[in-house]
Chains A and B, each alone.
Chain A
Amino acid sequence: MNTNLALLLLLAPFLGFLLNILFGSRLGKTLSGIIGTMAVAVSFAVTFYFFGAIAAIPEGIHISLFEWIQISNFKVDFGFQLDQLSVLWLLFVTGIGSLIHLYSINYMYDDENMHKYFAYLNLFVFFMITLVIGSNLLVMFIGWEGVGLCSYLLIGFWHKNQEFNDAAKKAFIMNRIGDLGLLIGIFILGMLFSTLDFATLKTAISGATDLNMYWLSVAAFALFIGACGKSAQIPLYTWLPDAMAGPTPVSALIHAATMVTAGIFMITRLNFLFDLTPDVQNIIAIVGAVTALVAATIGLVQNDIKKVLAYSTVSQLGLMFLALGLGAYEVAVFHVITHAFFKACLFLGSGSVIHALHGEQDMRNMGGLKKAMPITFATMLIASLAISGVPLFSGFFSKDEILLVAFHHNIPLWVVASIASIMTAFYMFRLMFLTFFKEFRGTAEQKHHLHESSPLITIPLIVLAFLATIGGLISLPGNSWLNEYLTPILPKLATAEHHLGTTEYILMAIAVIGGLVGIGIAYAKYIKQNAVPSEDAAITGFSKVLYNKYYVDEFYDAIFVKPINFLSRFFRDTVESGLSALVFGFGKLTNEISYQGKKVQNGSIGLYLFAFVLGLCAIVSYLFLAQ
């Protein structure tokens, strides 16, 4: 029963993919959209079954289908593990997935390749489910790489534009750098423990007494590099802003809610490993904090509505990594969930705006959309309040917990994270003000067509906004359902204390004030002063550095891409022909020897006879006299 249902859970999106890719063009757009959405909705429904089922089975459901890869010291099965963590992830992957599919039916209706879009989206969900429910690192790796592939396909969905294709390629390759790290980590774990199975690994690591700490740390670090690639952390984050080239629902699903959280999922899954390697945890925390800050600063000055959201995503992911690095996995998971709600809502809202403006993404050309698009405005406002940490919205709870944890462990990290969240509040409301308030700054043509989006778009927005509002309820301070739920995965939660003291309240107040200050500055600048960001050329000073994202892309281009391309040309033009000439050199040498030798064969019989006699003498004397 469980096996079949798990297969249904996994294969429903895959079936949707097959139907859409094979027959999509014949099915018609609506049907293809319905198939795509239904496929994910089925998975969502099955997830609910499992959500109920594992309540009775705390250790989770383990299903092994068949033997997959065989290595000398262990075998890897193709199997599933459905426990609290994976079901939690499944819930929002398939849940938000269904909503975004629904949203896409309208959003992508004008595209001629809509069936392909749904096929890829379904394939993505399929791989994401594989990633989440894989019972070992390698099955997880299938999903891990598979979502990368789908991300590549969807970023480059409008493949006639080579810039989009470049972005897609960049995303895939940056992810692959991380994947190499992940593979190395897998190798080391395989060698150390002769298993890649999460459950066995957990027993092996927790039970072992003489662990090789050096290699364990290396493994953890390598895995973290993998997480960096997928979850867009420094130094591998640059692909995520570029990934906004894809359709906006894709950005919402893949690049905000689900795929980019895979790194957090993996680290949480392997929390027993990371707990043993404090050095690596420190690195994770620092990388997370720095990423949060750097991305937030870049986000301050971006003018593309989706770029702002992208950097905000990177920044929020940084906060989650900070929590992971501090050992507060449940906090990171909590933030992943709330972030999924409000960020998906924000992306979908921005998609609604972009849709209404026929592809316009520059906030300098927006403004005053409040009246034309009330539902979009309202939902986005709720999500922005949530992300800014305004009390009672979900983001407040999760972000606050991260800051709390940071404060308890390391004050400088807390400072960095707090600054990042103030910035978050600022740039989110900068976005809101520029987009929805004041006068419309676009063309008259656009203004004429301004309209609220259809219900297929607004319903998901409303649902997500609702979730973004109440999402915090799952883990209220002091009485956390989430922590209890995750106890089988994170055993130390059982012993943790949940008390709220004065310090905590003060910190909360600081965070709230910080968030309000950020909003206030934005209000002062963009409503009171009525400022509109200047044109690209007019940006100067430090803003220009920020606007150009600290020139990181240029930097990578200069130290990695260009040298490799130069090397490639050098190899192609110089080394290859050199080696070739070397081989031909042997041929020429032989030719030359033969040409010289040819002169001996001048055709004179006399000379031949003479040589013959001499040869005879030599042979005879060797045969008879040498002994």
Chain B
Amino acid sequence: MSTILIIFCVLSAVTLATAFLTIFSRNPIHSAIYLVICFFSIAGHYLLLNSQFLAIVHIIVYSGAIMILFLFTIMLMNLNEEKEVHRPRITRLGAIVSFCLICLILIAIFINSKPIVGEYVTTGEDYQSIKVLGKVLLNEYMVPFEFASILLLVAMIGTVLLSKKEKLQK
């Protein structure tokens, strides 16, 4: 058991556990907090995979921006109290069944497709430093990159428009 494996196991355990807790927490605020921890652990995975750039972006976007949005929304709606009525038992049972089913199927698929994956070979080439990524992003993916920015702009406008209070019509 190498150190790295231990780190991976720990991180994975944190990820899964917090994900579960996110769903099962009765209080949305707690859910949000757990989700932040989950995202941090995923960022840890990114670091483990040696992609520092993504890890940082991930923390900024998810843990920073998105989660703040979530928290604000929750607070705005004043949902910190537990008000939710649980779903009927049959629905919950169905949810669990489908969870198991989809797990099983996806895992089965990946096991099935293992021969395709093949052996892992390192060439030692640099492919994920910020420098390389930057080049790829701004050469090859220049246009999508710009589109992404337009998307964000549109999203911003849309958000403003949606959350603006409509005038009451008589």
Contact = CB atoms under 8 A, between A and B. Distances in A.
Are A and B associated in one complex?
yes
Interface of A: 606, 610, 613-614, 616-617, 620-621, 624-625
Closest 10 CB pairs of A and B: A624-B109, A613-B98, A621-B105, A617-B101, A617-B105, A617-B102, A620-B105, A610-B94, A624-B112, A625-B108
Contacts of A613: 98, 102
A563 B109 CA distance: 74
Given A606-B87, A606-B91, A617 B98 contact: yes
B113 interface: yes
Nearest to A620: B105
B94 A625 contact: no
Interface in B85-123: 87, 91, 94-95, 98, 101-102, 105-106, 108-109, 112-113
A614 B101 CA distance: 9
A625 B105 contact: yes
Given A606-B91, A610-B95, A610-B98, 9 more contacts: A606-B87, A610-B91, A613-B102, A616-B102, A617-B102, A621-B105, A624-B113, A625-B105, A625-B112
16 contacts: A606-B91, A610-B94, A610-B95, A614-B98, A616-B102, A617-B98, A617-B102, A620-B106, A621-B105, A624-B109, A624-B112, A624-B113, A625-B105, A625-B108, A625-B109, A625-B112
Contacts of B87: 606
Contacts of B108: 624-625
A613 B95 CA distance: 10
Nearest to A613: B98
Contacts of A621: 105
B32 to A, nearest CB: 21
Contacts of B95: 610
B53 to A, nearest CB: 32
Interface of B: 87, 91, 94-95, 98, 101-102, 105-106, 108-109, 112-113
A512 B113 CA distance: 117
B129 to A, nearest CB: 35
A620 B108 CA distance: 11
A620 B95 CA distance: 18
Nearest to B102: A617
Contacts of B112: 624-625
Contacts of A617: 98, 101-102, 105
Contacts of B98: 610, 613-614, 617
A606 B87 CA distance: 10
Nearest to B98: A613
Contacts of A606: 87, 91
A610 B106 CA distance: 17
A606 B106 CA distance: 22
Contacts of B106: 620
A324 to B, nearest CB: 93
Contacts of A624: 108-109, 112-113
Nearest to A623: B109
Contacts of A616: 102
Contacts of B105: 617, 620-621, 625
Nearest to B87: A606
A621 B106 CA distance: 8
A241 B91 CA distance: 90
A616 B105 CA distance: 10
Nearest to B109: A624
A610 B101 CA distance: 12
Contacts of B113: 624
A617 B106 CA distance: 9
Nearest to A604: B91
B85 to A, nearest CB: 13
A613 B113 CA distance: 22
A619 to B, nearest CB: 10
Nearest to A627: B112
A536 B101 CA distance: 99
A617 B105 CA distance: 7
Nearest to B94: A610
Contacts of A614: 98
Given A606-B87, A606-B91, A610-B94, A620 B101 contact: no
Contacts of B109: 620, 624-625
A361 B63 CA distance: 117
Nearest to A614: B98
A613 B98 CA distance: 7
B92 to A, nearest CB: 11
Q: Find the residue from B105, B108, B113 having the highest chain A CB count within 10 A.
A: B105
A614 B105 CA distance: 11
A606 B112 CA distance: 31
A624 B87 CA distance: 33
A610 B87 CA distance: 13
Contacts of A620: 105-106, 109
Nearest to B91: A606
A624 B114 CA distance: 12
A621 B98 CA distance: 13
A460 to B, nearest CB: 98
A2 B106 CA distance: 99
A399 to B, nearest CB: 105
B90 to A, nearest CB: 10
Nearest to B113: A624
Contacts of A625: 105, 108-109, 112
A617 B108 CA distance: 12
A227 B8 CA distance: 108
B88 to A, nearest CB: 10
A141 B106 CA distance: 83
B96 to A, nearest CB: 12
B3 to A, nearest CB: 35
B106 to A, nearest CB: 8
A624 B113 CA distance: 9
A614 B97 CA distance: 10
B147 to A, nearest CB: 28
